[in-house]
Homo-oligomer: A and B are copies of this chain.
Amino acid sequence: MQKLNVAVLGATGAVGQRFIQLLENHPWFQVAEVVGSSRSASREYGEAVNWVLDGSPPNSATNLTVKALEDDLDSPLVFSALPKEAAETREIELAAQGHIVCTNASTNRMVEDFPLLLPEVNADHVRLVDVQREKRGWTTGAVIANSNCTAMPVVMALAPLRQFGIKKILVVSAQAISGAGYPGVASLDILDNIVPYVSGDEQKLETETLRMLGTLHNDRVEWLPSILSASCNRVPVVDGHLVNVSIELDEKPTLEEILETWSSFRGMDPVPHLPSAPEPPLHYLPQADRPQSRRDRNTGNGMATSIGRLRECPILGYKFVALSHNTIRGAAGGSILNAELLAISGYLGSFQPNHESIVAHA
């Protein structure tokens, strides 16, 4: 099976580096093009990048020549780790030119005909690709967004509880520094400190969460009819966004019923067959003091969500804690899983992952 060439936009930034790292040895995709800022353009990736992840950039990427943002791309599939402003026009341009753009930028997450995918939860929203193609006159191109890194563990934990009628969701986050990119949070702002504010994230949580948990109806996503209140905090943790969540449910399931619902959750088909899909997507930890940011962020190679401390909330009924790796599942890894869903769903043109690689995983 021939691997599909992909491009990474914003490849020298923190999330861009995660794309490069996670795509190393990917069974279906291979990085063929890296796109950076004008400062990096025309240099070798290995020299241009200030690698902020552990270790060193993978050898397969170091010799690639960084392209400028405006350069034409050959790769049919494009992962975007562009900053918000740059993403706004460039992602649409590339889609119009026929590229599939899987983006981590917040810019295009709430555009009505762009799917905001968390595949285990809303794989069927992928059909918005057809909607956008028709509406915009695109044939092979598309824009597909992945979740905000803080909304992500909330959505994963709540998805299987939709059957109980989710009325209210109150979230207080403890977000890792890597969520702000690089250089991002100044060390003087966060060492021995909690900052009870993350610019823009409360608004994103209060909207994107409900869109992701919504249902596709007449080619539109109907948001989950629920109210969400979010309070976002930055904490001195390298990776891993932890959320304290209280919820009100229409039906009044027992705690055991909720646990059972979580433990039996496998995600919508065909997600369990995708190479980057965690098995299972949710891990409930029975210990009184879990999940913890450092100890549980890498569960399922950083693609799974850990949940714990389910108990009664005297106000809303139920409360629990959830945790996901914000730069893996909550950013680059999430986007890669989205691309895998597109591939297996036939949206990547002639590219078709072979049966063995799918079966091997499942």
- A residues with a Cβ closer than 8 A to B are 14, 52-56, 168, 170, 172, 174, 177-178, 182-197, 199, 206, 227-229, 231, 233, 235-238, 240, 242, 244, 246, 285, 288-296, 298-299, 308-309, 313-316, 319, 321
Contact = CB atoms under 8 A, between A and B. Distances in A.
Contacts of A288: 197, 199
A236 B176 CA distance: 12
Given A54-B295, A170-B313, 20 more contacts: A170-B316, A172-B244, A177-B191, A183-B188, A185-B186, A185-B187, A187-B187, A191-B191, A192-B236, A192-B238, A194-B242, A195-B292, A196-B308, A196-B309, A197-B309, A206-B314, A229-B319, A231-B246, A231-B321, A236-B237
B193 A237 contact: yes
Given A55-B299, A184-B188, A227 B292 contact: no
A237 B192 contact: yes
A102 B189 CA distance: 28
Q: Which of A170, A185, A293 has the most CB of B within 10 A?
A: A170
A186 to B, nearest CB: 4
A298 B55 contact: yes
Contact of A192 (B293, B299, B308): B293
Smallest CB-CB A-B distances: 3 pairs = A183-B186, A197-B289, A172-B172
A199 B287 CA distance: 12
Per assembly, the copies of the chain total 4
Contact of A231 (B228, B238, B292, B319): B319
Contact of A292 (B193, B228, B240, B296): B193
A153 B182 CA distance: 30
Contacts of A314: 206, 227-229
B246 A193 contact: no
Contacts of A183: 183, 186, 188-189
Nearest to A56: B285
Contacts of A186: 182-187
Contacts of A292: 193-196
Contact of A229 (B227, B285, B313): B313
B52 A194 contact: no
Contacts of A308: 196
B244 A233 contact: yes
Contacts of A182: 186, 188
A47 to B, nearest CB: 11
Nearest to A202: B311
Contacts of A194: 174, 235, 237, 240, 242, 292-293
A144 B237 CA distance: 39
Given A183-B183, A187-B184, A231 B206 contact: no
Contact of A52 (B53, B189, B199, B316): B189
Contacts of A170: 170, 246, 313, 315-316
A236 B188 contact: no
